[in-house]
Chains A and B, each alone.
Chain A
Amino acid sequence: MKNKFKYLSLLVLIMSMTSAVFAEEVVQQAVPTIQDVVGKVDAVQKNANYVWTLIAAFLVFFMQAGFAMVETGLTRAKNAANIMMKNLMDYVLGSLAFFFIGFGLMFGTNPTGFYGTDGFMISDFAKEKDLWVFAFWMFQVVFAATASTIVSGAMAERTKFIAYLIYSAVISAFIYPVFGSWCWGGLYHGKGWLEKMGFIDFAGSTVVHSIGGWAALAGALMLGPRLGKYGTDGKPKAIPGHSITLAALGVFILFFGWFGFNPGSTTVAGGDAAKIAVNTNMAAAAGGLSSMITAWILFKKPEATMTLNGVLAGLVAITAPCNNVSTMSSIIIGLIAGILVVISVLFIEKVLKVDDPVGAVSVHGVCGAFGTLSAAIFNESGFTFQLLYVQALGVVSAFVWSFGLCLIMFFIIKKTVGLRVSKEEEMEGLDIMEHGNIAYPDFVHAEK
């Protein structure tokens, strides 16, 4: 009873205080001018932009977990700890590399159109006192990390860990940001030669996915196939991954993260994001359906891993054109990507004889290139050969830049620290030999 009285009197006290505050405000507030109102509306929009861009950045960050699950699910248990370390460390090193070097190269003042020259270590904040650079940086660093993490899947189960650390830092510090400055520099202080020509890559089919995919191709080519992947007759053999469950979880996480990747690339809280979200969703759905049907026709079974790849193929393909095509076009783009990815996986494995355990080259390289071209083919405001030419130029320059430079980089790594683990280590598993860990000690025995 005593307590109740105490609370009641406290409540009365608080109420009287707040009403006093309100009374004071009313007295002080003059009639607001139009400028006041405009200023307040602007502030609301600005704050909403911060919120949306940061939420989208955090969604894209979570895609790192998605990549980790897809890659480990599609490879063997004896290399699971190694894959976790690679996916963790590419973000760790990528963050630092992008902070010190990458961001400035990508978004700094760009007099030549080929690389940025200032704004390293977020130094613009000291000059401009604008917190926006932090939100923008956060959104960009997760993209840089996505580009470098793509490579790890194609090179899984046989790459030396130290070699991985080196190349993932080089990709985040140099290869990705320089290409990025050609297309996206204008989002901040730069202006790249490709964007000056009108190149469309809204959220990064080329800038992020193709750059990662072609780097992955160079890496897998330089490494050679895993032991036992090809028989003496040259025919590819299946090396089943250890968990389709984890691979599927990874695809769901990536799908979820993509709602930050594409709609968030507006970096503006506004209606465009809604249309982009629907386009992204429909392309992924269409990609899943067409890849399943393709697998069903070719293998007589609706094979799970190909269908999972098909969803990702649709997502990668819609990333460039998500803001300049209709939803119906998005479905067509997804359908084509889903068929393309299955054919590409088989082509790379059977004809090129390159061992890509997770299909990273097909999903990110091939479907990234297709998506970039489709931004011209399905352009809502009309198809022109001029735009198709510019898009094709972007696709080709991404291939030359990323594949060419990565071949050189992997060659240097091969000749210095070494690119591939020993045969014994590969057979025993990278977990125990590289890290001294076993991913599942009480659960299953690592297969020899």
Chain B
Amino acid sequence: MKKIEAIIKPFKLDEVKEALSEIGIKGMTVSEVKGFGRQKGHIELYRGAEYEISFIPKIKIEIVTQDDRAEEIVEVIIKAAKTGNIGDGKIFLSEVQEIIRIRTGERGTEAV
């Protein structure tokens, strides 16, 4: 099983969610996060003094899935989240040891 963590631009969340629903993804976890990468921060203005916002607001989507669906999901996220500008975000793929559904105690792919 794989975990897909995608950091995307906040206003792209709806498009990504729609696209994932269309290929039958039934669950995901979304959090509001802040950070910076190559885009760095940006300069804002307040009462004549400039100040740098070094941590830019982003959205993190987490999806856990069977191994064979991971690439497809990655493709769909890239297609939906891409603007072509710096700051589009990143996707991380990692192995997941176990999944357990709290209500029933089911484990493994049953619990996805």
Taking the complex as formed, is A345 at the interface, i.e. its CB lies under 8 A from any CB of chain B? yes
Query: For A241, what are the chain B residues with a Cβ–Cβ distance below 8 Å?
Result: 46
Query: For B47, what are the chain A residues with a Cβ–Cβ distance below 8 Å?
Result: 238, 303, 305-306, 345, 349, 359
- Chain B count of residues within 8 A CB distance of the other chain: 8
Nearest opposing residue in chain B for A240, CB measure: B46
Interface-facing stretch out of B8-16, B18-26, B48-56, B77-85: B48-56
The bracket for how many chain A residues form the interface is 10 to 19
Footprint of A on B, CB under 8 Å? 44-51
**Contact B51 A299, beta carbon cutoff 8 Å:** no
Taking the complex as formed, is A301 at the interface, i.e. its CB lies under 8 A from any CB of chain B? yes
Q: List 14 A-B contacts (CB under 8 A).
A: A237-B51, A238-B44, A238-B45, A238-B51, A239-B46, A240-B46, A240-B51, A298-B48, A303-B45, A303-B48, A306-B48, A342-B48, A345-B48, A349-B47
Nearest opposing residue in chain B for A229, CB measure: B49
Footprint of B on A, CB under 8 Å? 236-241, 295, 298-299, 301, 303, 305-306, 342, 345-346, 349, 359
**Contact B45 A301, beta carbon cutoff 8 Å:** yes
Query: For A346, what are the chain B residues with a Cβ–Cβ distance below 8 Å?
Result: 48
Query: For A345, what are the chain B residues with a Cβ–Cβ distance below 8 Å?
Result: 47-48
Partner of A295, one of B48, B50, B51: B48
Query: For B51, what are the chain A residues with a Cβ–Cβ distance below 8 Å?
Result: 237-238, 240
Instruction: Report how far A345 CA is from B49 CA in the complex, Å.
Output: 11
Instruction: Report how far A327 CA is from B99 CA in the complex, Å.
Output: 75
Query: For B46, what are the chain A residues with a Cβ–Cβ distance below 8 Å?
Result: 238-241, 303, 305
Minimum CB–CB distance from B34 to chain A (whole Å) comes to 12
Instruction: Report how far A349 CA is from B47 CA in the complex, Å.
Output: 10
Instruction: Report how far A201 CA is from B44 CA in the complex, Å.
Output: 40
Query: For A349, what are the chain B residues with a Cβ–Cβ distance below 8 Å?
Result: 47-49
Instruction: Report how far A305 CA is from B44 CA in the complex, Å.
Output: 13
Query: For A305, what are the chain B residues with a Cβ–Cβ distance below 8 Å?
Result: 46-47
Query: For A306, what are the chain B residues with a Cβ–Cβ distance below 8 Å?
Result: 47-48
Extra contacts besides A240-B51, A303-B45 (18): CB < 8 Å: A236-B49, A237-B49, A238-B44, A238-B45, A238-B46, A238-B47, A238-B49, A239-B46, A240-B46, A241-B46, A298-B48, A303-B46, A305-B47, A306-B48, A345-B47, A349-B47, A349-B48, A359-B47
Nearest opposing residue in chain A for B49, CB measure: A238
Query: For B45, what are the chain A residues with a Cβ–Cβ distance below 8 Å?
Result: 238, 299, 301, 303
Top 3 nearest A-B pairs by Cβ distance?
A238-B49, A238-B46, A238-B51
Nearest opposing residue in chain B for A241, CB measure: B46
Minimum CB–CB distance from A290 to chain B (whole Å) comes to 16
Minimum CB–CB distance from A379 to chain B (whole Å) comes to 34
Minimum CB–CB distance from B46 to chain A (whole Å) comes to 4
Instruction: Report how far A240 CA is from B44 CA in the complex, Å.
Output: 10
Query: For B50, what are the chain A residues with a Cβ–Cβ distance below 8 Å?
Result: 238
Minimum CB–CB distance from A1 to chain B (whole Å) comes to 63
Minimum CB–CB distance from A325 to chain B (whole Å) comes to 30
Instruction: Report how far A240 CA is from B47 CA in the complex, Å.
Output: 8
Nearest opposing residue in chain B for A74, CB measure: B47
Instruction: Report how far A340 CA is from B67 CA in the complex, Å.
Output: 66
Minimum CB–CB distance from A229 to chain B (whole Å) comes to 10
Minimum CB–CB distance from B21 to chain A (whole Å) comes to 30
Query: For A301, what are the chain B residues with a Cβ–Cβ distance below 8 Å?
Result: 45
Instruction: Report how far A239 CA is from B45 CA in the complex, Å.
Output: 10
